[in-house]
Protein backbone atom coordinates (compact mmCIF):
# COMPACT_ATOMS: atom_id res chain seq x y z
CA UNK A 1 0.00 0.00 0.00
CA UNK A 2 1.09 3.55 -0.66
CA UNK A 3 1.45 5.62 2.48
CA UNK A 4 2.12 9.33 2.61
CA UNK A 5 5.79 8.76 3.48
CA UNK A 6 6.42 6.33 0.60
CA UNK A 7 9.49 7.49 -1.31
CA UNK A 8 9.48 6.98 -5.08
CA UNK A 9 12.43 6.83 -7.43
CA UNK A 10 11.64 7.30 -11.11
CA UNK A 11 14.40 5.96 -13.35
CA UNK A 12 14.14 7.58 -16.76
CA UNK A 13 12.35 10.91 -16.90
CA UNK A 14 10.85 10.84 -20.37
CA UNK A 15 7.22 11.45 -21.32
CA UNK A 16 5.85 8.73 -19.05
CA UNK A 17 8.47 8.81 -16.30
CA UNK A 18 8.21 12.58 -16.14
CA UNK A 19 4.42 12.42 -15.98
CA UNK A 20 4.58 9.86 -13.15
CA UNK A 21 6.98 12.09 -11.23
CA UNK A 22 4.75 15.11 -11.80
CA UNK A 23 1.61 13.26 -10.71
CA UNK A 24 3.18 11.76 -7.57
CA UNK A 25 4.74 15.03 -6.54
CA UNK A 26 1.41 16.81 -7.01
CA UNK A 27 -0.13 14.28 -4.62
CA UNK A 28 2.46 15.12 -1.98
CA UNK A 29 4.87 12.19 -2.23
CA UNK A 30 8.64 12.36 -2.08
CA UNK A 31 9.95 11.76 -5.59
CA UNK A 32 13.54 11.16 -6.65
CA UNK A 33 14.64 11.11 -10.25
CA UNK A 34 17.45 9.47 -12.19
CA UNK A 35 18.12 10.42 -15.80
CA UNK A 36 20.96 10.14 -18.27
CA UNK A 37 21.29 13.87 -18.90
CA UNK A 38 21.74 16.65 -16.36
CA UNK A 39 19.44 18.92 -18.40
CA UNK A 40 16.60 16.49 -17.77
CA UNK A 41 17.23 16.60 -14.02
CA UNK A 42 17.44 20.38 -14.11
CA UNK A 43 14.16 20.59 -16.02
CA UNK A 44 12.45 18.25 -13.54
CA UNK A 45 13.70 20.24 -10.55
CA UNK A 46 12.76 23.58 -12.10
CA UNK A 47 9.25 22.35 -12.83
CA UNK A 48 8.82 20.85 -9.35
CA UNK A 49 8.46 17.31 -10.70
CA UNK A 50 11.05 15.79 -8.32
CA UNK A 51 12.50 16.56 -4.88
CA UNK A 52 16.00 15.44 -5.77
CA UNK A 53 17.62 14.13 -8.91
CA UNK A 54 20.97 13.10 -10.31
CA UNK A 55 22.62 11.29 -13.20
CA UNK A 56 24.93 9.05 -11.13
CA UNK A 57 23.46 5.70 -10.21
CA UNK A 58 24.94 5.11 -6.76
CA UNK A 59 23.54 4.77 -3.25
CA UNK A 60 20.91 7.36 -4.29
CA UNK A 61 18.95 4.29 -5.36
CA UNK A 62 18.78 2.93 -1.83
CA UNK A 63 16.69 5.87 -0.59
CA UNK A 64 13.61 4.67 -2.46
CA UNK A 65 10.82 2.42 -1.20
CA UNK A 66 9.43 2.12 -4.71
CA UNK A 67 11.34 2.27 -7.99
CA UNK A 68 9.46 2.83 -11.24
CA UNK A 69 11.26 2.49 -14.53
CA UNK A 70 10.27 4.88 -17.30
CA UNK A 71 12.85 3.46 -19.73
CA UNK A 72 12.70 1.38 -22.90
CA UNK A 73 12.16 -2.27 -21.89
CA UNK A 74 15.56 -3.63 -22.96
CA UNK A 75 17.37 -0.67 -21.38
CA UNK A 76 15.50 -1.43 -18.15
CA UNK A 77 16.64 -5.05 -18.22
CA UNK A 78 20.25 -3.94 -18.69
CA UNK A 79 19.95 -1.35 -15.93
CA UNK A 80 18.69 -3.95 -13.46
CA UNK A 81 21.45 -6.39 -14.42
CA UNK A 82 24.05 -3.67 -13.85
CA UNK A 83 22.76 -1.95 -10.71
CA UNK A 84 20.62 -4.48 -8.84
CA UNK A 85 23.18 -4.66 -6.04
CA UNK A 86 22.29 -1.04 -5.17
CA UNK A 87 18.60 -1.76 -4.61
CA UNK A 88 17.79 -2.13 -0.89
CA UNK A 89 15.71 -4.95 0.57
CA UNK A 90 11.90 -4.74 0.45
CA UNK A 91 11.91 -2.32 -2.46
CA UNK A 92 8.94 -2.64 -4.80
CA UNK A 93 9.84 -2.21 -8.47
CA UNK A 94 7.51 -1.47 -11.38
CA UNK A 95 7.65 -0.19 -14.95
CA UNK A 96 5.68 1.30 -17.84
CA UNK A 97 6.65 -1.13 -20.64
CA UNK A 98 4.33 -1.56 -23.59
CA UNK A 99 5.29 -5.22 -24.06
CA UNK A 100 5.62 -7.83 -21.31
CA UNK A 101 6.84 -11.05 -22.96
CA UNK A 102 10.63 -11.43 -22.68
CA UNK A 103 10.73 -8.63 -20.11
CA UNK A 104 8.75 -9.53 -16.97
CA UNK A 105 10.09 -13.09 -16.66
CA UNK A 106 13.63 -11.97 -17.36
CA UNK A 107 13.56 -9.28 -14.68
CA UNK A 108 11.84 -11.47 -12.09
CA UNK A 109 14.44 -14.13 -12.72
CA UNK A 110 17.24 -11.56 -12.47
CA UNK A 111 15.95 -10.47 -9.06
CA UNK A 112 15.05 -13.89 -7.68
CA UNK A 113 17.89 -13.99 -5.13
CA UNK A 114 17.09 -10.54 -3.78
CA UNK A 115 14.40 -9.56 -1.28
CA UNK A 116 12.66 -7.19 -3.73
CA UNK A 117 9.55 -7.60 -5.86
CA UNK A 118 9.06 -6.63 -9.48
CA UNK A 119 5.49 -6.18 -10.65
CA UNK A 120 4.88 -5.00 -14.18
CA UNK A 121 2.33 -2.41 -15.31
CA UNK A 122 1.37 -0.77 -18.59
CA UNK A 123 -0.10 2.72 -18.34
CA UNK A 124 -1.73 3.01 -21.78
CA UNK A 125 -1.07 6.72 -22.11
CA UNK A 126 1.28 8.74 -24.29
CA UNK A 127 1.06 9.52 -27.95
CA UNK A 128 3.29 10.77 -30.76
CA UNK A 129 5.49 12.89 -28.52
CA UNK A 130 8.40 11.97 -26.27
CA UNK A 131 10.56 13.74 -23.71
CA UNK A 132 10.01 15.31 -20.30
CA UNK A 133 8.90 18.62 -21.83
CA UNK A 134 5.67 16.90 -22.94
CA UNK A 135 5.03 15.36 -19.51
CA UNK A 136 1.52 15.94 -18.21
CA UNK A 137 -0.90 14.18 -15.90
CA UNK A 138 -3.99 14.99 -17.95
CA UNK A 139 -3.32 12.11 -20.33
CA UNK A 140 -3.84 9.61 -17.50
CA UNK A 141 -7.44 10.65 -17.00
CA UNK A 142 -8.65 9.03 -20.23
CA UNK A 143 -6.23 6.09 -20.15
CA UNK A 144 -6.30 2.45 -19.11
CA UNK A 145 -3.84 1.13 -16.55
CA UNK A 146 -3.04 -2.55 -16.96
CA UNK A 147 -1.39 -4.61 -14.20
CA UNK A 148 0.26 -7.82 -15.43
CA UNK A 149 1.12 -9.91 -12.36
CA UNK A 150 2.77 -13.34 -12.52
CA UNK A 151 2.74 -16.16 -9.97
CA UNK A 152 5.83 -14.49 -8.46
CA UNK A 153 3.79 -11.48 -7.37
CA UNK A 154 2.11 -10.87 -4.03
CA UNK A 155 -1.43 -9.66 -3.50
CA UNK A 156 0.07 -6.69 -1.68
CA UNK A 157 2.02 -5.64 -4.77
CA UNK A 158 -1.08 -5.91 -6.95
CA UNK A 159 -2.95 -3.71 -4.50
CA UNK A 160 -0.08 -1.26 -4.52
CA UNK A 161 -0.38 -0.94 -8.31
CA UNK A 162 -4.11 -0.34 -7.95
CA UNK A 163 -3.35 2.44 -5.50
CA UNK A 164 -0.74 3.88 -7.81
CA UNK A 165 -3.13 3.98 -10.78
CA UNK A 166 -5.82 5.48 -8.58
CA UNK A 167 -3.39 8.09 -7.23
CA UNK A 168 -2.41 9.06 -10.78
CA UNK A 169 -6.14 9.29 -11.76
CA UNK A 170 -6.19 6.64 -14.48
CA UNK A 171 -9.61 6.12 -16.00
CA UNK A 172 -9.78 2.33 -15.83
CA UNK A 173 -7.67 -0.31 -14.07
CA UNK A 174 -7.46 -3.92 -15.28
CA UNK A 175 -5.45 -7.04 -14.51
CA UNK A 176 -4.24 -9.24 -17.34
CA UNK A 177 -1.70 -12.03 -17.59
CA UNK A 178 1.49 -11.30 -19.54
CA UNK A 179 0.14 -13.41 -22.43
CA UNK A 180 -3.30 -11.76 -22.42
CA UNK A 181 -1.69 -8.33 -22.32
CA UNK A 182 0.60 -8.99 -25.24
CA UNK A 183 -2.18 -10.49 -27.38
CA UNK A 184 -4.35 -7.47 -26.59
CA UNK A 185 -1.60 -4.98 -27.39
CA UNK A 186 -0.63 -6.84 -30.57
CA UNK A 187 -4.13 -6.50 -31.98
CA UNK A 188 -5.33 -3.15 -30.60
CA UNK A 189 -2.11 -1.20 -30.89
CA UNK A 190 0.79 -2.84 -32.70
CA UNK A 191 -1.20 -4.19 -35.66
CA UNK A 192 -2.84 -0.76 -36.07
CA UNK A 193 0.60 0.82 -36.26
CA UNK A 194 1.78 -1.78 -38.79
CA UNK A 195 -1.29 -1.05 -40.92
CA UNK A 196 -0.89 2.73 -40.79
CA UNK A 197 2.84 2.53 -41.55
CA UNK A 198 2.27 0.07 -44.40
CA UNK A 199 -0.48 2.22 -45.90
CA UNK A 200 1.81 5.26 -45.98
CA UNK A 201 4.53 3.07 -47.49
CA UNK A 202 2.27 1.54 -50.17
CA UNK A 203 3.37 4.10 -52.76
CA UNK A 204 4.25 7.76 -52.97
CA UNK A 205 1.13 9.72 -52.09
CA UNK A 206 2.30 13.31 -51.72
CA UNK A 207 0.25 14.41 -54.74
CA UNK A 208 -2.93 13.40 -52.89
CA UNK A 209 -2.48 15.67 -49.88
CA UNK A 210 -4.98 18.28 -51.01
CA UNK A 211 -7.80 15.76 -51.48
CA UNK A 212 -7.42 14.07 -48.12
CA UNK A 213 -10.37 13.76 -45.79
CA UNK A 214 -10.84 12.62 -42.21
CA UNK A 215 -10.90 8.87 -42.95
CA UNK A 216 -7.36 8.80 -44.26
CA UNK A 217 -6.00 11.23 -41.66
CA UNK A 218 -7.56 9.31 -38.76
CA UNK A 219 -6.31 6.00 -40.07
CA UNK A 220 -2.74 7.12 -40.68
CA UNK A 221 -2.13 9.45 -37.73
CA UNK A 222 -0.12 6.71 -35.98
CA UNK A 223 2.11 6.22 -39.03
CA UNK A 224 4.14 8.96 -37.33
CA UNK A 225 6.14 6.71 -35.10
CA UNK A 226 9.36 6.64 -33.07
CA UNK A 227 11.46 4.18 -35.04
CA UNK A 228 13.68 3.13 -32.14
CA UNK A 229 10.98 2.46 -29.57
CA UNK A 230 8.59 0.69 -31.90
CA UNK A 231 11.26 -1.49 -33.47
CA UNK A 232 12.11 -2.66 -29.95
CA UNK A 233 8.48 -3.19 -28.92
CA UNK A 234 7.65 -5.10 -32.11
CA UNK A 235 10.66 -7.39 -31.80
CA UNK A 236 9.88 -8.18 -28.16
CA UNK A 237 6.36 -9.23 -29.17
CA UNK A 238 7.41 -10.69 -32.51
CA UNK A 239 5.63 -14.06 -32.51
CA UNK A 240 2.26 -12.78 -31.35
CA UNK A 241 2.41 -9.76 -33.66
CA UNK A 242 3.37 -11.89 -36.68
CA UNK A 243 0.33 -14.04 -36.00
CA UNK A 244 -1.93 -10.99 -35.87
CA UNK A 245 -0.44 -9.53 -39.07
CA UNK A 246 -0.97 -12.85 -40.85
CA UNK A 247 -4.58 -13.07 -39.68
CA UNK A 248 -5.16 -9.54 -40.94
CA UNK A 249 -3.52 -10.30 -44.31
CA UNK A 250 -5.83 -13.34 -44.59
CA UNK A 251 -8.83 -11.13 -43.83
CA UNK A 252 -7.99 -8.42 -46.38
CA UNK A 253 -6.99 -11.04 -48.98
CA UNK A 254 -10.40 -12.61 -48.54
CA UNK A 255 -11.99 -9.22 -49.18
CA UNK A 256 -9.81 -8.78 -52.26
CA UNK A 257 -10.90 -12.17 -53.56
CA UNK A 258 -14.63 -11.58 -53.12
CA UNK A 259 -14.31 -8.18 -54.80
CA UNK A 260 -12.43 -9.86 -57.66
CA UNK A 261 -15.24 -12.42 -57.96
CA UNK A 262 -17.91 -9.69 -57.60
CA UNK A 263 -19.45 -11.73 -54.80
CA UNK A 264 -21.89 -9.09 -53.62
CA UNK A 265 -23.48 -11.21 -50.92
CA UNK A 266 -20.17 -11.90 -49.19
CA UNK A 267 -19.10 -8.25 -49.54
CA UNK A 268 -22.31 -7.16 -47.85
CA UNK A 269 -21.89 -9.81 -45.17
CA UNK A 270 -18.38 -8.52 -44.42
CA UNK A 271 -19.63 -4.92 -44.20
CA UNK A 272 -22.52 -5.90 -41.93
CA UNK A 273 -20.19 -7.90 -39.67
CA UNK A 274 -17.60 -5.12 -39.40
CA UNK A 275 -20.31 -2.57 -38.67
CA UNK A 276 -21.82 -4.75 -35.95
CA UNK A 277 -18.47 -5.46 -34.31
CA UNK A 278 -17.33 -1.83 -34.45
CA UNK A 279 -20.57 -0.65 -32.83
CA UNK A 280 -19.52 -2.40 -29.61
CA UNK A 281 -16.52 -0.09 -29.45
CA UNK A 282 -18.75 2.97 -29.88
CA UNK A 283 -20.68 2.08 -26.74
CA UNK A 284 -17.42 2.16 -24.84
CA UNK A 285 -16.68 5.55 -26.37
CA UNK A 286 -19.90 6.86 -24.93
CA UNK A 287 -19.16 5.37 -21.53
CA UNK A 288 -15.69 6.89 -21.46
CA UNK A 289 -16.75 10.40 -22.31
Q: How far is the CB of 98 from a copy of itself (least distance, A)?
A: 11
Interaction of residue 289 with a copy of itself, rule CB under 8 A:
no
Q: What is the C-alpha separation between 284 and 287, in angstroms, rounded?
A: 5
Contact 106, 184 (CB under 8 A): no
Q: How far is the CB of 287 from a copy of itself (least distance, A)?
A: 9
Q: How far is the CB of 179 from a copy of itself (least distance, A)?
A: 14
Write the DSSP symbol of residue 204: -
**Residue 194, helix vs strand vs coil:** helix
Interaction of residue 1 with a copy of itself, rule CB under 8 A:
no
Interaction of residue 241 with a copy of itself, rule CB under 8 A:
yes
Nearer CB in complex with a copy of itself: 3/275: 275
Interaction of residue 173 with a copy of itself, rule CB under 8 A:
no
Interaction of residue 259 with a copy of itself, rule CB under 8 A:
yes
Nearer CB in complex with a copy of itself: 116/192: 192
Q: How far is the CB of 253 from a copy of itself (least distance, A)?
A: 6
Interaction of residue 85 with a copy of itself, rule CB under 8 A:
no
Q: What is the C-alpha separation between 240 and 102, in angstroms, rounded?
A: 12
Interaction of residue 255 with a copy of itself, rule CB under 8 A:
yes
Interaction of residue 286 with a copy of itself, rule CB under 8 A:
no
Among 74, 144, 150, 177, binds a copy of itself (CB under 8 A): 144
Closest CA to 68 of 3, 126, 118: 118
Residues 6+ apart with CB under 8 A from 230: 193
Contact pattern for a copy of itself over residues 174 through 213, marking x by CB under 8 A: x---------x--xxx-xxxxxxxxxxxxxxxx-xxxxxx
Closest CA to 73 of 193, 232, 180: 232
What spatial distance separates the first Cα and last Cα of the chain, rounded to whole Å? Answer: 30
**Residue 30, helix vs strand vs coil:** strand
Interaction of residue 281 with a copy of itself, rule CB under 8 A:
yes
Q: What is the C-alpha separation between 205 and 194, in angstroms, rounded?
A: 18
The count of residues interacting with a copy of itself (CB under 8 A) is 89
Contact pattern for a copy of itself over residues 96 through 135, marking x by CB under 8 A: ----------------------------x--x--------
Inter-CA distances, 86 with 81, 82, 201, Å: 11, 9, 46
Amino acid sequence: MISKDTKFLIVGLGLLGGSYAMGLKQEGYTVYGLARRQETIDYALEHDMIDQGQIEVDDFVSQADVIIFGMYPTAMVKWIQTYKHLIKDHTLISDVSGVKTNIVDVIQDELKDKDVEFISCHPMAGRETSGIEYANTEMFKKANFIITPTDKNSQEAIEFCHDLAYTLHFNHIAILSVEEHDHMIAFLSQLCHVIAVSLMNTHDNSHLVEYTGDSFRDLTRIAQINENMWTELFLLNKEILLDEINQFIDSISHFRDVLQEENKEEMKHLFVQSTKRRKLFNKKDAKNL
